[in-house]
């Protein structure tokens, strides 16, 4: 299961349970890829 960087929006693979960081921008706040952000945006 991957993560999505909330800063640049790129997919990030987890390196470890306590070491999750975006390799592209260094941002440390990531969202689980499962919970699609598209769903949140598109509200009927
Ligand atoms: Zn990033």
**pLDDT 10s digit of each residue in the chain, 44 long?**
788 999 999 998 876 666 778 989 999 898 888 755 555 555 56
pLDDT reported for residue 32: 85
pTM above 0.75, yes or no: no
Q: 40 CA distance to ligand 1 centroid (A)? A: 20
3-state secondary structure 1-44: CCEEECCCCCEECCCECCECCCCCCCCCCEEECCCCHHHHHCCC
For the chain, what are the domain ranges? 1-35
Q: Ligand 1 center to residue 26 CA distance, Å?
A: 6
d(CA 5, CA 20) in angstroms, rounded, equals 10
Q: Do 21 and 33 touch, CB atoms closer than 8 A?
A: no
End-to-end CA distance of the chain: 28
């Amino acid at each position: 299961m991957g993560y999505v960087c909330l800063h640049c929006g790129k997919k990030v693979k987890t390196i470890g349970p306590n070491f999750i960081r975006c390799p592209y921008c260094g941002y440390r706040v990531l969202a689980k890829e499962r919970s699609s952000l598209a769903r949140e945006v598109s509200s009927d």
